[in-house]
């Protein structure tokens, strides 16, 4: 090997750089452990909002020591910027994809147009989006043009005063479209910046926020975030701040009395009609009539509701204050529905015609909420909006309560002074409304307020006050942001994932190290050193690139360990072959490395190609798996080819003998002579049966598609005792209509999935379903456990309740499914072309792709057949697609090594019959195949058993894939290549024999 000095220098420098990069992680972790201990000592676990307060204290500690030198000029802040990032599944936190509502933006651009063609197109676009992956704006344009002669440049659509500088009445639809697209893109960019500002102030280290193409989707990752409810509110709050004059309670009291009487009259009329209908229905039974009566008058509460439909749910307050009445939170929907009824709205007098009814902010711990009436107008435009706010800070009012102080620009200050003048003169109040919730409605008792200063008071915690000030400073979102996909992992589950990942890593590494020494002796020891260097390089590169380490990423590293020995195995087996030919040790080593290089490169390139496709099409943790796999391939090549060679050459330079085997393995697989080609028909029959059974299972029982592919919500719930999945599932079906519960790991932990309200977005829906889940499981949870304790927001130390959750909307689920299909098809096409390029014969490509297709179908069949009885998740999700692509890479790796040897034997034994050449080539690779497959399988089994429940299905797919892939490379890929190429090969051989005979005769 040439340039050994340069390689040594490079390896040493690379190793030192890797250690340097990883040192930041050790320093940051050490300081954070000190911060955690400090916060635990200062905050009692019994205090309310323990997690939030502890997080604040940890932040204060880290801020105080952030710039203090720890070692050689390194501070905590510099270490934190350069540490190896841990992903959501290892650190806990939240990962969401937000969909900025393009529909809202279009409405805003059209100035809330009432144009029938415009609103019909919006409704039609909603329907089209369920079946299409096209952008919403394109679907809107398509739907709009379904109306004959409809013009986007109409005064009632986009040719309004807001867009007058860009759009005029003479423009065609084709001219208007790019302008609207540009405005929408600007709005989404604005939303991205608003969210980024909010997150920057949130205090989570290493947040990640990025736009996903032009779809209006924004990815937000907040590893380590503990207060999940707080994060969701922060992300989804539009921060639509408005200031309104407000009616007094006594001004609306007559209307409320009339509304109650009208509702009573309507209810009585409806009940009478229903009773008559029942009585006249010949199919009605006495029981039907009894049920009707029971519905109307079951008890005193029903009687009160019958006589006072509105006042049974709303307690009126007729005073000088702004509160109209108080209702229980659970009754607010019913009260709101009553007040929106046209028959009720018509009772409002002319001066109250546009009254806007809104609820106040609930007081923490209270079940009741106040109702207000804003003095709205025909266009529903507030007297003053939040766009005038220039600064906002969390402060305290005169009574020591938490408040948010705001400052306004000049225009806002002038309008605020006018509003406070009116309120002072009329002794009325001004409501401060955020996202249609009244936070406070103060009266103006000391005269008009000049200078543009105002204050929001209410029932705030410190974190709520800080968050409100944060969102007001960042500004409002230009449109609503719905969470279409989310994954939440509690910190306890994250720590368990780290522990299981480290355990599986240690077990797999120990086995591989021992096996290499057992099989190859001292040479195996050198390979082990190279493997240790390889692992150091992988972690060093991950830290240097700022990559995120996830649980699938750890699996990728462990898998790399199993596969990285393949290069050393190939080299050592070739050296053993050269030694058996009688070559000197130096020559055998040189030729062994040289002859193995082609196979090593081809095998790793094909695996790398599938890794790249996985990186392009994958999302979240799957990208982490692909990243570590690709890095591992590169470092494995370097360490196997160069580092191992350095040790072997260094050991043998003084004439020391180096055996590439031990007494137990020296003659293993030496005289193997399996007639693969002769037995190919048996393998065809076996594979045919497996493929047909798999296809039949897929067509009959199908696959258990995860929420990634069909949409829905999934919760990992842990109980304090063993539970029966079927019993829990029956309870959930009664509540949600459709639900699935499966044991997930230990028998006190379930994975619960439901599609209930999957198409509805918003925090309210998420909270409603979470509440329903809690109520359904309450009897099986510890007595006295509260909803807050059940939920993830209870933070660290959380051992019973929701440990993780995931939500995927149906639209994004369809996107994920299509991307996964393209990933698999793309990998097959790319690999077919690469093998065709390398081997110059389509028969090799056909055999390789057919074998891969065979492997994928059988894995799918196994998952279809076994989904009902396996004690772990058999869902088809993104992780499963990652497994499929990894199997594709592994199977091709194996096949390419075999094909390389066949090609080599063709060149060496030109007079051999085709069948003999292939059999000899296959038999010569048996030792390598068994070694690589065995080490990889043991590694996968270690991860499968000890690596955590969340990746058990992923590992099972890989185990089946390695078994089937090893089989197919020998018994499917090669026989198919033989059957399609033998005729041509026999013709060439016959021609060559004729030429030899002619030469002899001549």
In whole angstroms, give the CA distance from residue 772 to residue 784. Answer: 17
Q: Which of 25-29, 388-392, 743-747, 752-756 has the lowest mean pLDDT?
A: 743-747
Residue 404 bridge partners (DSSP): 394, 456
Q: What is the pLDDT of residues 559-610, one digit of tens each?
A: 677 667 888 888 888 898 888 888 888 888 888 888 888 888 877 887 788 7
Residues 725 and 835 in one domain: no
CB of 707 closer than 8 Å to CB of 716 = no
DSSP assignment, residue 168? -
Residues 428 and 383 in one domain: yes
CATH number of the domain where residue 608 is located: 1.20.1640.10
Residues 778 and 828 in one domain: no
Residue 905 domain-assigned (yes or no): yes
105: closest CA among 211, 209, 216?
Answer: 216
CB of 754 closer than 8 Å to CB of 734 = no
Give the strand pairing for 481-489 and 93-100.
antiparallel
End-to-end CA distance of the chain: 47
Overall number of domains in the chain:
5
Rg (CA), the chain: 35
- Whether the pLDDT of residue 394 is over 70: the answer is yes
In whole angstroms, give the CA distance from residue 572 to residue 589. Answer: 8
In 3-state terms, what secondary structure has residue 489? Answer: strand
Count of CA atoms in the C-beta half-sphere (13 A) of 271: 15
Secondary-structure percent of the chain, ordered helix, strand, coil, rounded to 5: 60, 10, 25
CB of 386 closer than 8 Å to CB of 472 = yes
Residues 796 and 826 in one domain: no
In 3-state terms, what secondary structure has residue 208? Answer: strand
Q: Where are the alpha helices (DSSP H) in 325-435?
A: 332-340, 342-345, 410-426
Token duo for residue 241 = 């701040």
Residue 511 domain-assigned (yes or no): no
Residues 533 and 618 in one domain: yes
Residues 602 and 675 in one domain: yes
Q: What is the pLDDT of residues 113-142, one digit of tens each?
A: 888 888 898 888 888 876 666 778 888 888
CATH number of the domain where residue 727 is located: 3.30.70.3400
pLDDT band at 907 (very low <50, low <70, confident <90, very high): confident
Largest CA distance in the chain: 126
- Whether the pLDDT of residue 285 is over 50: the answer is no
In whole angstroms, give the CA distance from residue 830 to residue 839. Answer: 14
Domain boundary among 55, 83, 111: 83
pLDDT band at 17 (very low <50, low <70, confident <90, very high): very high
Residue 35 domain-assigned (yes or no): yes
Is the model more confident about 426 or about 459? Answer: 426
Is the model more confident about 691 or about 834? Answer: 691
**Domain range for 887:** 521-654+669-702+814-995
Residue 492 domain-assigned (yes or no): no
Residues 440 and 580 in one domain: no
Q: Name the phi and psi angles at 326, rounded to 5.
A: -125, 140
Task: Give the percent of the chain with pLDDT over 90.
Answer: 6
In 3-state terms, what secondary structure has residue 476? Answer: coil
Give the strand pairing for 93-100 and 437-440.
unpaired
Residues 837 and 851 in one domain: yes
531: closest CA among 636, 609, 378?
Answer: 636
215: closest CA among 273, 135, 116?
Answer: 135
Residues 684 and 544 in one domain: yes
Domain boundary among 146, 180, 202: 202
- Whether the pLDDT of residue 695 is over 60: the answer is yes
Residues 389 and 411 in one domain: yes
Predicted local distance difference test score (pLDDT) of residue 987: 54
Is the model more confident about 110 or about 488? Answer: 110
In 3-state terms, what secondary structure has residue 714? Answer: strand
Residue 349 domain-assigned (yes or no): yes
- Whether the pLDDT of residue 821 is over 80: the answer is no
Residues 47 and 192 in one domain: no
Residue 505 domain-assigned (yes or no): no
The mean pLDDT of the chain is 79
Domain boundary among 476, 504, 534: 476
Predicted local distance difference test score (pLDDT) of residue 690: 93
Q: At what angle do helices 974-1001 and 878-908 cross, to 10 degrees?
A: 10
Residue 402 bridge partners (DSSP): 396
Give the strand pairing for 85-86 and 69-71.
unpaired
Average pLDDT over residues 484-491: 69
pLDDT band at 696 (very low <50, low <70, confident <90, very high): very high
Give the strand pairing for 437-440 and 389-396.
unpaired
Report residue 306 CA to chain centroid gap: 49
What H or E segment, with its residue span, contains residue 86? Answer: strand 85-86
Residue 499 domain-assigned (yes or no): no
CB of 222 closer than 8 Å to CB of 204 = yes
Residue 320 domain-assigned (yes or no): yes
DSSP-assigned letters across all residues of 837-898:
HHH--HHHHHHHHHHHHHHHHHHHHHHHHHTTT-SS---BSHHHHHHHHHHHHHHHHHHHHH
Average pLDDT over residues 289-317: 62
- Alpha-carbon torsion, ordered 787, 775, 780, 766, to 10 deg: -60
Instruction: Kindly list the distances between the CA atom of residue 391 and the CA atoms of 104, 388, 453, 470, 779, in Å, as whole numbers in the listed order.
Output: 26, 9, 10, 9, 48
CATH number of the domain where residue 426 is located: 3.30.1360.200
CA angle 182, 187, 191 (to 5 degrees): 145
CA angle 15, 18, 19 (to 5 degrees): 90
Is the model more confident about 205 or about 243? Answer: 243
CB of 961 closer than 8 Å to CB of 890 = yes
Average pLDDT over residues 877-886: 74
Q: At what angle do helices 228-236 and 462-474 cross, to 10 degrees?
A: 20
In 3-state terms, what secondary structure has residue 587? Answer: helix
Burial label, 25 (beta-carbon count in 10 A; 0-12, 13-18, 19+): buried
Residues 9 and 42 in one domain: yes
């Amino acid at each position: 090997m040439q340039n050994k000095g340069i390689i040594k220098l490079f390896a040493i420098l690379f190793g030192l750089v890797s250690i340097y990069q990883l040192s930041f992680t050790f320093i940051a972790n050490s300081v954070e452990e000190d911060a955690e201990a400090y916060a635990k000592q200062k905050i009692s676990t019994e205090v309310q909002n323990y997690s939030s307060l502890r997080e604040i204290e940890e932040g204060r500690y880290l801020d105080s020591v952030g710039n203090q030198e720890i070692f050689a000029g390194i501070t905590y802040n510099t270490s934190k910027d350069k540490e190896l990032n841990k992903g959501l599944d290892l650190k806990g936190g939240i990962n969401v994809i937000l969909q900025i509502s393009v529909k809202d933006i279009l409405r805003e651009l059209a100035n809330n147009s009432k144009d029938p063609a415009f609103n019909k197109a919006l409704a039609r676009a909603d329907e089209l989006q369920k079946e299409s992956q096209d952008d919403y704006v394109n679907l809107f344009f398509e739907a709009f043009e379904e109306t004959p002669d409809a013009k986007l440049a109409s005064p009632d659509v986009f040719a309004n005063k807001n867009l007058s500088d860009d759009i005029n009445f003479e423009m065609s639809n084709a001219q208007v479209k790019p302008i609207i697209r540009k405005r929408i893109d600007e709005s989404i960019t604005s939303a991205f910046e608003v969210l980024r500002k909010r997150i920057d102030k949130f205090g989570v280290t290493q947040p990640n926020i990025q736009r996903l193409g032009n779809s209006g989707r924004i990815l937000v990752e907040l590893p380590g975030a503990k207060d999940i409810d707080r994060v969701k509110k922060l992300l989804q709050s539009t921060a639509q701040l408005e200031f309104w004059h407000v009616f007094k309670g006594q001004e609306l009291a007559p209307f409320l009395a009339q509304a109650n009487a009208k509702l009573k009259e309507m209810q009585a009329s409806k009940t009478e009609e229903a009773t008559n209908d029942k009585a006249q229905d010949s199919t009605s039974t006495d029981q039907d009539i009894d049920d009707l009566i029971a519905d109307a008058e079951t008890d005193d509460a029903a009687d009160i509701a019958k006589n006072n439909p509105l006042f049974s749910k709303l307690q009126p307050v007729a005073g000088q204050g702004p509160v109209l009445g108080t209702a229980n939170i659970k009754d607010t929907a019913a009260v709101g529905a009553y007040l929106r009824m046209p028959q009720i709205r018509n009772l409002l007098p002319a001066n109250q015609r546009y009254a806007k009814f809104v609820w106040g902010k609930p007081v923490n711990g209270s079940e009741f909420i106040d109702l207000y009436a804003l003095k709205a107008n025909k266009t529903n435009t507030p007297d003053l909006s939040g766009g005038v706010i220039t600064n906002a800070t969390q402060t305290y009012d005169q009574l020591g309560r938490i408040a948010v102080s705001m400052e306004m620009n000049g225009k806002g200050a002038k309008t605020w002074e006018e509003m406070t003048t009116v309120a002072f003169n009329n002794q009325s109040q001004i409501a401060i409304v955020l996202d249609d919730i009244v936070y406070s409605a103060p009266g103006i008792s000391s005269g008009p307020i000049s200078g543009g200063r105002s204050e929001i008071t209410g029932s705030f915690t410190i974190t709520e006050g800080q968050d409100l000030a944060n969102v007001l400073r960042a500004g409002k979102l230009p449109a609503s942001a719905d969470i279409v996909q989310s994954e939440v992992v509690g910190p306890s589950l994250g720590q368990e994932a780290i522990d299981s990942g480290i355990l599986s890593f240690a077990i797999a590494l120990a086995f591989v190290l021992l096996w290499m020494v057992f099989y190859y002796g001292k040479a195996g020891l050198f390979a082990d050193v190279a493997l240790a260097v390889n692992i150091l390089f992988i972690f060093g590169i991950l830290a240097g690139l700022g990559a995120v380490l996830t649980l699938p990423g750890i699996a990728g590293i462990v898998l790399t360990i199993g596969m990285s020995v393949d290069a050393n195995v190939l080299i050592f087996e070739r050296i053993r072959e050269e030694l058996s030919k009688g070559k000197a040790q130096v020559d055998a080593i040189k030729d062994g490395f040289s002859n193995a290089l082609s196979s090593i490169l081809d095998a790793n390139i094909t695996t790398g190609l599938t890794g790249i496709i996985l990186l392009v099409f994958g999302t979240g943790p799957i990208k982490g798996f692909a990243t570590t796999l690709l890095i591992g391939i590169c470092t494995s090549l370097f360490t196997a080819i160069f580092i191992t060679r350095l040790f072997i050459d260094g050991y043998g330079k003084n004439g020391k003998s180096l055996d590439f085997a031990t007494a137990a393995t020296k003659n293993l697989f030496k005289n193997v002579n399996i007639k693969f080609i002769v037995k190919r028909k048996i393998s065809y029959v076996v594979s045919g049966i497996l493929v047909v059974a798999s296809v039949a299972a897929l067509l009959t029982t199908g696959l258990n598609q995860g929420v990634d592919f069909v949409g829905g919500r999934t919760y990992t719930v842990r109980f304090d005792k063993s539970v029966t999945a079927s019993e829990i599932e029956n309870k959930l079906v009664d509540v949600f209509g459709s639900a699935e519960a499966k044991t997930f790991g230990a028998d006190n932990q379930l994975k619960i999935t439901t599609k209930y309200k999957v198409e509805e977005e918003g925090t309210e829906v998420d909270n409603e379903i979470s509440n329903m889940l809690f109520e359904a499981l309450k009897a099986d949870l510890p007595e006295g456990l509260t909803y807050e304790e059940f939920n993830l927001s209870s933070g660290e130390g959380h051992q019973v309740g929701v440990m993780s959750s995931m939500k995927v909307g149906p639209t994004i689920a369809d996107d994920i499914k299509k991307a996964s299909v393209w990933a698999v098809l793309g990998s097959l096409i790319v690999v077919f072309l690469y093998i065709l390029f390398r081997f110059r014969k389509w028969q090799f490509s056909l055999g390789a792709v057919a074998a891969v297709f065979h492997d994928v179908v059988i894995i799918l069949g196994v998952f279809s057949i076994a989904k009902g009885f396996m004690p772990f998740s058999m869902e088809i999700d993104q992780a499963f697609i990652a497994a499929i692509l990894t199997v594709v890479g592994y199977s091709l790796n194996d096949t390419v090594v075999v094909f390389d040897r066949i090609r080599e034997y063709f060149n060496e034994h030109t007079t051999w019959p085709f069948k003999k050449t292939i059999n000899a080539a296959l038999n010569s690779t048996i030792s390598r195949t068994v070694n690589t497959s065995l080490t990889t399988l043991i590694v996968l089994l270690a991860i499968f058993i000890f690596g955590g429940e969340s990746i058990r299905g992923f590992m099972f797919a890989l185990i089946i894939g390695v078994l089937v892939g090893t089989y197919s490379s020998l018994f499917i890929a090669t026989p198919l290549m033989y059957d399609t190429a033998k005729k041509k090969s026999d013709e060439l051989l016959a021609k060559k024999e004729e030429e030899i005979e002619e030469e002899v005769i001549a």
